[in-house]
């Protein structure tokens, strides 16, 4: 029996036709003249996420050959009248030939055995028996889903199919192959495209995986009232939380450890077939109590490593206790965890129990840097020296990248390295795919093959993918995808010395390519795809178009070419502002930035990247999955220019007691225009930018003082409302105007409460989902408006800044949140009402400023921003004051002035 994880990849022509010198007796006739095989046994009964024909083998053979094979139960099979058969599942034929092997196979394994008169397709489980059928269709008929979209399904036509005799045991090298956030056609996230063949990734049971789980074992519902000491200490107080995005429980508390051990044992008792239990840290940090901090210690040292692993010794001191207890009660079971969140490297001073499987969280997308490659190989080797089994957790992102991020060769190198050096051969994989298939092309399809056989030839796989998908136009498309991968390496030097804005820190730092997310959401990724190289790729796409003769091939080329337009537009935009970016990071003042900004406008492609992206996502979300790249250089420079000219002037006048809106706006615009270089030609593009800057400088609204507070009923029938409309609004990640978004707003106060009224017209409102009150925690994913308020806080660290956020949504849903001294869960909304009519939805809000410490008696003005979400899962933000990264940035604000 031939074995190996997919080692028998071969060209379809060799398997589909009778090659010269091969006698018919050495092949199985699936379909040949009057001969048509019969399917015997248990056909696939699909489950999630597959949505296709129940008898998949029968359906696709018919699509490929035009012949519908008879399908019978084994009890009805008659060998005399059915001389050629395909036995599917645990048939007596499979038991007779492979019974002993089936009883000892790993649950991932399956057998494809071809004899002159019959075929056996059987797996260790019902799911892997399905994989054997997929394998049969792929290897012998060329039927495959090369990407999860109707255009990705390839079903070649055959009049005759004779299959060479062979027997294969397919056994994957990586024992877990989990893909998350697939973005298939017809599915918003995971799942598969209806009617196409899934890949060989476990969906019903996964052997090993790791995620943020520890908080689920110490739930608030069970222990919040009785044992606050089980929960994390933050800023000197116990924080009663079981959110995966908040701090983890107090793992120095021996009672917490005892409870976790008991619950893990209970899980194994209730799931005797389970091989592992996931015990990962949360995504929000660690307990700060003295006992937990005393457990901290150094991680091993890796020269040149910039990864913070200061919590490794604490985490593994805890995890070792669990692992020892489980080895005693359930020997052979594995505790999986994450090499993540300051636990990326092994602890230096303590051993790691051998039944622990860390999943090392990183990306190979930046391995074009030799130092990054060396560092992560050393980190991996340090783990391989300490554990018997290991997992790879890869950020395989396509989403939110404006460039194709293909790195199959580097991925193959790493998978081979891990598998080759593992002590036990027990290796696993989990990938956050977040696919943009129009960018990713063959990347994920190749990865699936490498997880079965890391020794597979990446170039051969790329050729096979392109020849199947593009047929007569394959040659230039092979060069296209190979060029995309090489460009990462060829242009890597352009990233040297780059400074990059870090949204969650609110500042710029030197680019760190060892960051586990790589270049994700970093605009400097476009340095790898300069306009001249993008033009070369466009030429290859044009060559493919010229060679295509079939309509389906033309459609597939356009699927990728239309997506690559995003790269073209984003690259031209980024490189138009090269001089602006350099000055921005070197600390230039507003006058110098203004000169560079206006110069860049004349070099700019007129296409708005964000608008183009949103149109593409609305048409077909599989091509690109957003939000789009942060074009932060321009956005940050624009914001800095306005804040250091108009903003400074407004603050000075407010301090002097000026509270007249027209006077403030006039002074703000005058201060802004004072830094426009003399003698500028003022082209049409430059005039548009200056008009946009003047609009930003005018972001001042008044909240008159009232003696007659409004009734919060959503009707707006009180005379106090002084409505304003300021246009344009801005696309929040690009600082580009959106002239179509119109929002009316009005404010008032009575010394304690701030009253807010907004009316939000939206043309497609009837087609939008309604956010019901029970869905309030996801209000931003619906048509909604986000209101941000804060006071200026000189000298306060950015992660401690206090702000308040309120989000009323179409349909009645509402949420509020905050940060800093205001707290994560403020309760300042005294009343709100959300109503609607045929053309718009509207909201009235009553905000208790005393709860927030923002009373008008203490603050003459507040900083304010409003963000309109139009739907589309939170990726459709339009902002009143531009926000280049995150809405909650305190610098992304205009001014709300209180009337006296």
Summarize pLDDT for 805-832 with one digit per residue, the tens: 999 999 999 999 998 889 888 999 999 9
CB 248 within 8 A of CB 284: yes
pLDDT, mean of residues 168-190: 82
At 8, the pLDDT band (50, 70, 90 cuts) reads: very low
pLDDT at residue 499, as a whole number: 84
Query: Could you give the CA distance from residue 179 to residue 433 in angstroms, rounded to a whole number?
Result: 6
Query: Could you give the CA distance from residue 650 to residue 644 in angstroms, rounded to a whole number?
Result: 10
Query: Could you give the CA distance from residue 659 to residue 705 in angstroms, rounded to a whole number?
Result: 12
Q: Rounded mean pLDDT of the chain? A: 90
At 740, the pLDDT band (50, 70, 90 cuts) reads: confident
Over pLDDT 90: what percentage of the chain? Answer: 73
pLDDT at residue 720, as a whole number: 92
pLDDT at residue 731, as a whole number: 81
Residue 604 predicted with pLDDT over 90: no
Query: Could you give the CA distance from residue 270 to residue 256 in angstroms, rounded to a whole number?
Result: 21
At 782, the pLDDT band (50, 70, 90 cuts) reads: very high
Over pLDDT 70: what percentage of the chain? Answer: 93
pLDDT, mean of residues 434-446: 95
pLDDT at residue 583, as a whole number: 87
CB 805 within 8 A of CB 855: no
Residue 10 predicted with pLDDT over 70: no
Q: What is the pTM of this model?
A: 0.88
Instruction: Encode pLDDT of 660-694 as tens digits.
Output: 999 999 999 999 999 999 877 778 889 989 999 99
pLDDT, mean of residues 154-179: 96
Residue 630 predicted with pLDDT over 80: no
Query: Could you give the CA distance from residue 495 to residue 403 in angstroms, rounded to a whole number?
Result: 15
Please give the torsion angle defined by the CA atoms of residues 250, 251, 253 and 254, in that order, rounded to the nearest 10 degrees: 150
pLDDT at residue 205, as a whole number: 59
At 629, the pLDDT band (50, 70, 90 cuts) reads: low
pLDDT, mean of residues 303-331: 97
Residue 197 predicted with pLDDT over 90: no
pLDDT at residue 5, as a whole number: 46
Nearest to 745 by CA among 864, 611, 889: 864
pLDDT at residue 585, as a whole number: 79
Q: Cα angle vertex 83, ends 78, 84, to 5°? A: 115
At 578, the pLDDT band (50, 70, 90 cuts) reads: confident
pLDDT at residue 874, as a whole number: 57
Q: How many CA atoms lie within 13 A of 731 on its CB side?
A: 25
Task: Give the SS3 label for residue 643.
Answer: helix
* Pairing relationship of beta strands 276-278 and 237-238 according to DSSP bridges: unpaired
pLDDT at residue 9, as a whole number: 34
pLDDT at residue 228, as a whole number: 97
- Tell me which range, 12-21, 47-56, 640-649, is most confidently predicted by mean pLDDT: 640-649
Which parts of 579-651 are beta strand (E)? none
At 175, the pLDDT band (50, 70, 90 cuts) reads: very high
Question: Any residues with CB less than 8 A from the CB of 1 and at least 6 apart, and which?
Answer: 101, 111, 113, 167, 168, 169
DSSP string, 34-95: TEE-EEEE------TT--S-SSHHHHHHHHHHS----EE-GGG--TTT--SEEEESS-HHHH
pLDDT at residue 188, as a whole number: 45
pLDDT, mean of residues 561-586: 90
Q: Which residue has the higher pLDDT, 579 or 369?
A: 369
Q: How many CA atoms lie within 13 A of 747 on its CB side?
A: 22
pLDDT, mean of residues 501-513: 77
pLDDT at residue 14, as a whole number: 33
Where helices occur in 512-576 by DSSP H, the ranges are: 531-547, 551-576
CB 43 within 8 A of CB 56: yes
* DSSP code at position 718: S
Residue 131 predicted with pLDDT over 80: yes
Residue 15 predicted with pLDDT over 50: no
Give the tokens for residue 287: 């307990």
Look at the chain and count its residues: 900
Query: Could you give the CA distance from residue 295 to residue 316 in angstroms, rounded to a whole number?
Result: 10
pLDDT at residue 166, as a whole number: 97
- Long-range residue pairs from 472-478, CB within 8 A, at least 24 positions apart, any chain: 472/547, 472/548, 472/549, 472/550, 472/553, 473/544, 473/545, 473/547, 473/548, 473/553, 473/557, 475/547, 476/540, 476/541, 476/543, 476/544, 476/547, 477/540, 477/544, 477/557, 477/560
Residue identified by tokens 């990462």 is 488
Distance of CA 826 to the CA centre of its chain: 29
Residue identified by tokens 């990728």 is 560
* DSSP code at position 645: I
Where helices occur in 242-344 by DSSP H, the ranges are: 254-270, 290-294, 312-329
* Pairing relationship of beta strands 276-278 and 334-339 according to DSSP bridges: parallel
Residue 37 predicted with pLDDT over 60: yes
Q: Which residue has the higher pLDDT, 848 or 636?
A: 848
At 607, the pLDDT band (50, 70, 90 cuts) reads: confident
pLDDT, mean of residues 22-31: 77
Give the tokens for residue 272: 């005797």
pLDDT at residue 298, as a whole number: 95
Q: Minimum mean pLDDT among 60-69, 134-143, 576-585: which range?
A: 576-585
pLDDT at residue 873, as a whole number: 58
């Amino acid at each position: 029996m031939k074995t190996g994880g997919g080692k028998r990849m071969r060209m379809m022509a060799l398997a589909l036709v009778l090659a010269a010198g091969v006698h018919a007796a050495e092949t199985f006739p699936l379909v040949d003249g009057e001969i048509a095989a019969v399917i015997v046994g248990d056909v696939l009964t699909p489950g999630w996420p597959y949505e296709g024909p129940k008898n998949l083998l029968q359906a696709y053979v018919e699509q490929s050959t035009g012949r519908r094979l008879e399908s019978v139960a084994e009890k009805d099979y008659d060998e005399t009248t059915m001389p050629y058969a395909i036995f599917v599942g645990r048939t007596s034929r499979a038991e007779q030939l492979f019974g002993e092997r089936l009883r000892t196979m790993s649950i991932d394994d399956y057998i494809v055995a071809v004899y002159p008169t019959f075929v056996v397709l059987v797996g260790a489980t019902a799911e892997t028996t399905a994989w054997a059928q997929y394998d049969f269709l792929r290897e012998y008929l060329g039927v495959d889903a090369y990407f999860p979209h109707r255009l990705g399904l390839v079903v070649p036509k055959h009049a005759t199919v004779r299959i060479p005799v062979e027997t294969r045991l397919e056994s994957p090298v990586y024992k877990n192959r989990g893909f998350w956030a697939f973005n298939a056609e017809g599915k918003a996230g995971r799942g598969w495209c209806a009617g196409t063949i899934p890949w060989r990734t476990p969906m019903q049971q996964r052997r090993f995986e790791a995620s943020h789980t520890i908080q689920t074992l110490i739930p608030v519902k069970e222990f919040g009232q009785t044992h606050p000491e089980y929960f994390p200490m933050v800023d000197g107080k116990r924080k009663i939380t079981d959110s995966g995005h908040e701090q983890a429980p107090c793992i120095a508390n021996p009672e917490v450890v005892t409870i976790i051990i008991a619950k893990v044992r209970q899980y194994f008792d209730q799931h005797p077939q389970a091989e592992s239990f996931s015990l990962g840290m949360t995504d929000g940090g660690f307990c700060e109590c003295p006992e937990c901090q005393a457990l901290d210690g150094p991680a091993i040292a890796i020269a040149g490593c910039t990864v913070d692993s200061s919590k490794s010794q604490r985490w593994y001191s805890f995890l070792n206790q669990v692992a020892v207890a489980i080895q005693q009660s359930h020997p052979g079971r594995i505790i999986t965890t994450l090499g993540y969140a300051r636990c990326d490297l092994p602890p230096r001073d303590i051993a790691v129990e051998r039944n622990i499987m860390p999943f090392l969280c990183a990306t190979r997308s930046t391995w074009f840097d030799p130092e990054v490659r060396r560092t992560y190989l050393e980190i991996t080797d340090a783990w391989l020296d300490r554990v018997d089994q290991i997992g790879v957790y890869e950020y395989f992102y396509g989403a939110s990248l404006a460039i194709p991020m293909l790195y199959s060769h580097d991925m193959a190198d790493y998978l081979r390295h891990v598998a080759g050096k593992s002590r036990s051969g027990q290796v696993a994989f989990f990938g956050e795919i977040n696919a943009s298939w129009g960018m990713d092309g063959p990347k994920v399809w190749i990865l699936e093959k490498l997880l079965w056989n890391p020794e597979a030839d990446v170039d051969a796989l790329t050729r096979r993918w392109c020849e199947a998908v593009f047929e007569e136009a394959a040659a230039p498309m092979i060069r296209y995808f190979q060029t995309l991968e090489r460009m990462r390496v060829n242009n890597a030097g352009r990233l040297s010395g780059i400074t990059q804005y870090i949204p969650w820190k609110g500042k710029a730092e030197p680019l760190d390519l060892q960051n586990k997310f790589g270049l994700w959401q970093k605009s400097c990724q476009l340095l790898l795809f300069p306009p001249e190289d993008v033009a070369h790729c466009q030429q290859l796409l044009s060559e493919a178009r010229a060679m295509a003769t079939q309509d389906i091939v033309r459609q597939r080329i356009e699927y990728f070419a239309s997506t690559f337009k995003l790269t073209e537009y984003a690259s031209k935009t980024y490189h138009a502002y090269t001089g602006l970016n350099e000055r921005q990071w070197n600390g230039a003042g507003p006058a110098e930035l203004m000169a560079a900004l206006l110069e860049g406008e004349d070099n700019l492609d007129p296409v708005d990247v964000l608008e183009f992206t949103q149109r593409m996502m609305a048409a077909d979300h599989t091509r690109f999955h957003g939000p789009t790249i942060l074009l932060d250089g321009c956005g940050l420079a624009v914001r800095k220019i306005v804040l250091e000219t108009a903003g400074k002037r407004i603050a000075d006048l407010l301090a002097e007691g000026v509270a007249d809106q027209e006077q403030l706006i006039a002074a703000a615009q005058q201060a802004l225009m004072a830094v426009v270089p003399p003698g500028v030609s003022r082209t049409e593009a430059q005039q548009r930018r200056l008009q946009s800057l003047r609009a930003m400088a005018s972001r001042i609204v008044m909240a008159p003082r009232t003696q007659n507070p409004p009734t919060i009923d959503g009707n707006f029938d009180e005379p106090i409302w002084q409505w304003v409309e300021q246009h344009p609004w801005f696309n929040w990640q690009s600082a580009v105007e959106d002239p179509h978004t119109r929002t009316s707003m009005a404010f008032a106060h009575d010394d304690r409460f701030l009253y807010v009224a907004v009316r939000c017209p939206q043309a497609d409102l009837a087609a939008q989902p309604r956010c019901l009150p029970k869905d309030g925690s996801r209000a931003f994913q619906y048509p909604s408006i986000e209101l941000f308020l804060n006071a200026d806080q000189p000298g306060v660290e950015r992660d401690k800044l206090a702000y308040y956020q309120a989000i009323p949504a179409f349909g009645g849903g509402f949420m509020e949140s905050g940060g800093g001294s205001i707290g994560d869960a403020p309760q300042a909304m005294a009343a709100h009402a959300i109503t609607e009519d045929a053309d718009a939805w509207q909201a009235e809000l009553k905000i208790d400023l005393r709860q927030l410490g923002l009373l008008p008696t203490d603050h003459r003005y507040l900083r304010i921003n409003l963000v309109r979400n139009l739907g589309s899962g939170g990726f459709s933000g339009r902002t009143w004051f531009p926000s280049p990264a995150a809405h909650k940035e305190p610098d992304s604000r205009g001014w709300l002035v209180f009337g006296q």
